[in-house]
Amino acid sequence: MELIKILTHADKVELIIDEDSGCTGCVSKNKYLEIQRILVTKDGKSNDLKYGYNDVYAQLVRYGISLKLCI
């Protein structure tokens, strides 16, 4: 979230999590949560990262940073 905040110069970044579809990994005891959306708030206006900041979204995907799962 901090990386996205820096790259987009945002005031706030929110993750919309699907609480029902979380799973526990077989290798670790951590619970993985599925991210439905990443909302970026800048100057009081919220945008979806994928559509409002597509250049940042594409850059994160190119570097192999998962935007679908978090711990």
Encode pLDDT of 21-31 as tens digits.
656 555 566 67
Rounded CA separation 26/69 (Å) = 15
Percent residues over pLDDT 90 in the chain: 66
Please state the domain count of the chain.
1
pLDDT at 24: 57
The per-residue pLDDT for 32 is: 79
Please give the residue range of the domain that contains residue 27: 2-70
Q: Considering just the CA atoms, what is the radius of gyration of the chain in Å?
A: 13
Mean pLDDT, all residues of the chain: 88
The answer to whether the pTM exceeds 0.85 is no
- Site of tokens 């940042």: 56
- Is the predicted pLDDT of residue 41 greater than 90, yes or no? yes
